[in-house]
Structure 1
Amino acid sequence: MNPNPASIPTGWDCHVHVFDPTHPAEAGHYRPVLRDLPEIERTAAALGVGHLVLVQPSVYGTDNGLILRALAREPGRHRGIVVLGTDISDAELDTMHRLGVRGVRFNLVSPVGNGPEAFRVLAPRLKARGWHVQWYAKADQLAAIADLHEGSGLTAVLDHLADMHPGIGAADPAWTALQRLAAQGAWVKLSGWYRLQSMAPYESLHEPIRRVAQLTGEHLVWGSDWPHTAFDHDALPPYESVWQPVVRTLGASRAAAVRTAGALLYA
């Protein structure tokens, strides 16, 4: 039985993955253990989070079946971000939309990720459905992303603090590129701290988080990056530990707004 919508916590975790070791994986990737939707729902509820954005991990390539089945468990509650081949049919896109998919991930870090050519091919069809484009990219690739989005009518969503790690200087051109993307309406995910040359409690990221927040204004969402594939499966960081940098950096009031902003981005 589906829960009463009124009983679902209002917070959003905008970057999680689900895994099933029986689901076919791309060759050359890590072998995931079982991390399913009920597990992350239970984990997130303790922090007042009731809505999740399921992001297709690179290990499954363009086979989005695991995410789509998870979304179908409780239609309308969660959202999905998929990875697509350029030969995807309109019927498949429409089915994904009904299940809660609202964006496509382009991965410039993993060798199996989609790139600029796929963006150009898919862009008109994504725009027609009101979807956005989520980028997993390095800071020095932000300028190229801004070029792609110029005039496209598509919103960019930048994973993991747009890769603005502590090693990037105050005058680095990546900040100018991020400012340009912000002017285009881009959103940034406050997520993946341990992917940003930082270690818990992530104090070295406080200044980059503040500067990103100044550039993007209200266009911030938070993601836990659960189940934290950078860690051994039996040594995951506490769920709340990857939320606390947001509170410490932005303050309780603004952090609370960030935690519910997914309702706007993923409407």
Structure 2
Amino acid sequence: MASESPGLITMNIPAPDIPGPKPLSDLPEAVLPAKSCDTHAHLFGPAAQYPYHSDRSYTPPDASRQDYVRLLRTLGFQRAVLVQPSVYGTDNRLLCDTLELAKTKPWGIEWRGIAVTDADIAESELEAMHQLGIRGIRLNMLFRGGIDFATIQGLANRIAPLGWHLQFLIDITQFKDLATRISALPVDSVIDHMGHFRSDQGSRHPAFTSLLSLLRDGRTWVKVTGPNRISSQKTAPYTDAQALAQALMHARPDRLVFGTDWPHVQIPTQIPDDGSLVDELYRWAEHDEQLIQSILVGNPEKLYSF
């Protein structure tokens, strides 16, 4: 199932160089609607079984499926999307093993996944991934171990028959022609973490207005995730990210999804509390129940084919 990637560390177990998530999360103030989906989380380790790619930007501590399920239950999520992290490159074994196990032991959660693959991945492997619940390919254009635009068109053509999308881990300010490139693709696109766009640059910045244009066109989705990654504030509430989130909500509320970003790897601020991040979403949405229902339930149901 997994695509073997060159450069994997197979002998020594590396020590983590980033902190792990909070052991326990606070309860969010609101009760989430039924079938709410956390669309962005990662699993790591154990490193002896699932070794990291040698060309990586960080080494995480273990973040287990058991701990993540505990978090989902605490917060009230009943659906989850596991995203292949950059430190595993195209070795999707942990992701696929978890989805395989969830076929018989779902732990009260409906699961989907986003993989990372090479452009020459076999059709049979793509189909097997689809059967497990993979619904897209992540393109790492931010951290080491990723790919560039040269392979994107080929991947898009390969996954289009499956109804998958391309998920971009990208700083939207670094690609002036991003909208043109994405609009030309034969599949939908998803932009991580509000485009990794620093909130102090303001919603009128050309890169952000371009993102809004893509969103309005209806073939691009945005994850209103990771405010702690783009904010100048160290802890919640991340009030300076509110204008960006609300601009996205006003543009296309039917093309937004939410995720915790657990276990919060390689962030510029202290590890956030996941319950507080849920509260941030409700604050941005001004507790509009219909909007919350769309972002947490209806939109991910459509995007990930739940």
What is the TM-score normalised by the length of structure 2?
0.79
- Pick the aligned partner of 1:207 from 227, 243, 253: 243
The residue number in structure 1 matching 2:42 is 17
- Does 132-141 or 50-59 show the bigger shift? 132-141
Q: Deviations over 1:131-154 (max 9, x none)?
A: 001011112246533222224221
2:136 is the counterpart of 1:103: yes
1:176 deviation in Å? 2.9
Opposite residue 230 of structure 1, the aligned amino acid is Q
User: How far off is 1:86 after superposition?
Assistant: 1.3
Which residue does the alignment assign to 2:59?
31
From 158, 164, 182, the equivalent of 2:191 is: 158
Is residue 218 of structure 2 the alignment partner of residue 169 of structure 1? no
Separation in structure 2 between the aligned mates of residue 206 and residue 154 of structure 1, nearest angstrom? 29
Instruction: Say if 2:38 and 2:296, in contact at 8 Å, map to a contact too.
Output: yes
Q: Does 1:243 align with 2:244?
A: no
Q: In 2, Cα distance between the equivalents of 1:116 and 1:222?
A: 26
Say if 2:119 is the partner of 1:81.
no
Greater RCO structure (CA 8 Å; 6+ sep): 2
State the 4+ residue runs in structure 1 displaced beyond 4 angstroms.
none
Q: Distance in 2 between matches of 1:218 and 1:121?
A: 28
Residue of structure 2 in register with 1:256 after alignment = 293
Q: How many residues align?
A: 257
Q: What TM-score do you get using the length of structure 1 for normalisation?
A: 0.90
What one-letter code is carried by the residue in structure 2 that aligns with 1:165?
Answer: R
Residue in structure 1 matched with residue 171 of structure 2 by the alignment: 138
Unmatched segments (≥5 aa) in structure 2: 1-33
CA contact (8 A) 1:188 1:216 kept: no
Quote the offset at 1:180 in angstroms: 2.7
Worse overlay, 52-61 or 147-156: 147-156
When structure 1 is superposed on structure 2, of 181-190 and 70-79 the one drifting more is 70-79
- What is the CA RMSD across the aligned residues, in angstroms? 1.9
**3-state SS in 1 of match to 2:51:** coil
The offset of 1:129, in angstroms, is: 0.7
Percent identical: 30
Question: Given that residues 142 and 177 in structure 1 are in contact (C-alpha distance below 8 angstroms), is that contact kept between their aligned partners in structure 2?
Answer: no
Cα deviation for residue 111 of structure 1 reads 2.4
Q: What do residues 76-96 of structure 1 show as CA deviations (whole Å, max 9, x unaligned)? A: 821111111112100110000
